[in-house]
Amino acid sequence: MPYELQPDGSHYVNGAYVEDTAGAEIPVIFSATGERIATLHAATPAIVEQALVAAEKAQAEWAKLSPRERGRVLTRAAQIMRERNHDLSVLETYDTGKPLQETLVADASSAADALEYFGGLAASLTGEHIPLGEDWVYTIREPLGVCVGIGAWNYPTQIACWKAAPALACGNAMVFKPSEATPLCALKVAEILTEAGAPAGLFNVVQGMGEVGSALVTDPRVAKVSLTGSVPTGRRVYAAAAEGMKHVTMELGGKSPMLVFDDADIDNAVGGAILGNFYSSGQVCSNGTRVFVQKGIKEAFLARLTERLKGAVIGDPLDEATSFGPMVSERQMTIVQGFIEKGAAEGARLVTGGKRIDRDGWYLEPTVFADVTDDMTIAREEIFGPVMSVLDFDTEEEAIARANATEYGLAAGVFTRDLARGHRVIGQLRAGSCFINSYNDAPVEAPFGGVKMSGVGRENSKAAIEHWSQMKSVYVRMGDVEAPF
Ligand SMILES: NC(=O)c1ccc[n+]([C@@H]2O[C@H](COP(=O)([O-])OP(=O)(O)OC[C@H]3O[C@@H](n4cnc5c(N)ncnc54)[C@H](O)[C@@H]3O)[C@@H](O)[C@H]2O)c1
């Protein structure tokens, strides 16, 4: 039975749906048609208060459970999520416009991976014993308390779980605010966690725009804020969190480089460039949108790329044959169209695409610019749409220097058959999530996150644990205390 698109309430607080129609209206638009499919409301201060009170109470209870019991709830949630993968994927397609072909394999399933991984890890999160001769110190890994998650709109189920799974495994509670553009999916995550045995109030969802996020970030009861969003929002949220000396994880934007050397397998490099620019219609933070191609293979690369792009099946995202869908919103489409105009105006060569597709919804053609230079706007700013910039280079040193000449540092990729070069180059690229002869893989076992303006902290893997817990150290004196007087 597929999910109803209109939820029973806008928010999920203390284990149940709640509504307060006094909050600003949030229309949910199916971006493949432009139709309104549901109407939600932003959280009022009263709803935010209910969520924080519920989270505080649940956290105290949850932290008392043994980590193994906590882990069991998460792994049960992972199992439910996998059983409902199809319905969750359909819902995510309505929420985001992304093709079902993608949501079936890369959203709820990735969310379930996180719940399963951190559920399994929970029981092994321990402190250590530090011998000091006769005396000793032991450490206790403690939860932070009530944590806030704030999501972007491109992977609403995955983002909610990449934050909630490690947070809850460590004994925290969470209030999550999805992006106002995709408010539906996180509500299902909350329902599933309740069904799996999470106490009421452990994972709450409140809807709203920036003001609701800001109210959460500045609340003194909140110990940590994890944001997935753009750099400008990250700056504001980080600064607000700093006022209260809160922990933060910032998963922000990027303008990541992909370096294709002339010895690369061209089809693999083209495949990587397609995945790193057109998956989710280009709305992926770690995308390799600056594709540096060594001069000798540039035309062959472009020819093969153009050929393969003809194979994109553009259409109804609910049709499993569709491999390229609309942008998330009309607003985002308009922003991307602005970048395409700038690319042409600043002298880049349009190889393919560039236009809005003549059908309902917010569709743009997969677009490739060649002869892009480092100073062009499309090579400097994050576009967050299906626009690839191809730049050419001569030498390895030059490519590394130009790839690093950006304020961002989320991801980077290298395509070469020379593995020594692959490791040497990746070692010099200033980015957090890197790939050799691949692009955009994000298994839960691997740390994910950026350097420079792309963020701080890491999601996924054992590294995430450090960002969702804190260490208490206890010095134990076995003999007498020697005081000077
Ligand atoms: N690094 C990653 O893991 C990752 C993943 C996906 C997306 N992103 C980035 O997200 C951006 C696209 O998403 P977006 O347009 O939704 O980003 P955005 O920055 O506009 O919004 C992100 C979230 O922050 C909230 N917000 C806005 N102002 C706020 C404030 N003052 N206080 C608290 N919350 C506030 C929004 O309501 C939304 O939920 C891109 O830059 C992309 O690169 C990063």
CATH architecture of the domain covering 11-252+454-472: 3-Layer(aba) Sandwich (3.40)
Residue nearest to atom 1 of ligand 1 (CA): 251
Output the CA 125–ligand 1 centroid distance in Å: 30
* Ligand 1 pocket list (CB less than 6 A): 150-154, 177, 179-180, 209-210, 213-214, 217, 228-230, 233, 236-237, 251-254, 285, 382, 384, 410, 450, 455
Are 152 and 231 a contacting pair, CB within 8 Å? no
Which atom of ligand 1 is the closest one to the Cα of 332? 15
Report the alpha-carbon distance of residue 466 to residue 457 in Å, rounded: 9
Output the CA 192–ligand 1 centroid distance in Å: 24
Which atom of ligand 1 is the closest one to the Cα of 178? 39
Structure tokens at 278: 């057109």
In this prediction the pTM is: 0.98
ipTM: 0.97
Are 433 and 461 a contacting pair, CB within 8 Å? no
pLDDT by 10s per residue, the chain, length 485: 589 999 999 999 999 999 999 999 999 999 999 999 999 999 999 999 999 999 999 999 999 999 999 999 999 999 999 999 999 999 999 999 999 999 999 999 999 999 999 999 999 999 999 999 999 999 999 999 999 999 999 999 999 999 999 999 999 999 999 999 999 999 999 999 999 999 999 999 999 999 999 999 999 999 999 999 999 999 999 999 999 999 999 999 999 999 999 999 999 999 999 999 999 999 999 999 999 999 999 999 999 999 999 999 999 999 999 999 999 999 999 999 999 999 999 999 999 999 999 999 999 999 999 999 999 999 999 999 999 999 999 999 999 999 999 999 999 999 999 999 999 999 999 999 999 999 999 999 999 999 999 999 999 999 999 999 999 999 999 999 999 99
Output the CA 178–ligand 1 centroid distance in Å: 9
**Whole-Å CA distances, 5 to 27, 35, 39, 77, 220:** 12, 12, 9, 21, 35
Residue nearest to atom 34 of ligand 1 (CA): 213
Output the CA 383–ligand 1 centroid distance in Å: 14
Angle at Cα 138 formed by Cα 137 and Cα 142, nearest 5°?
A: 140
**Catalytic residue annotation:** 251
- The CATH code for residues 257-436 is 3.40.309.10
Domain boundaries, the chain: 11-252+454-472, 257-436
Mutation to probe ligand 1, out of 31, 98, 148, 150 (largest number of atoms < 8 A from CB): 150
Output the CA 152–ligand 1 centroid distance in Å: 4
Which atom of ligand 1 is the closest one to the Cα of 448? 3
Report the alpha-carbon distance of residue 193 to residue 170 in Å, rounded: 15
Mutation to probe ligand 1, out of 31, 230, 248 (largest number of atoms < 8 A from CB): 230
* Amino acid symbol at 67: P
Output the CA 19–ligand 1 centroid distance in Å: 24
Residue nearest to atom 18 of ligand 1 (CA): 229
Report the alpha-carbon distance of residue 99 to residue 96 in Å, rounded: 9
Report the alpha-carbon distance of residue 292 to residue 295 in Å, rounded: 9
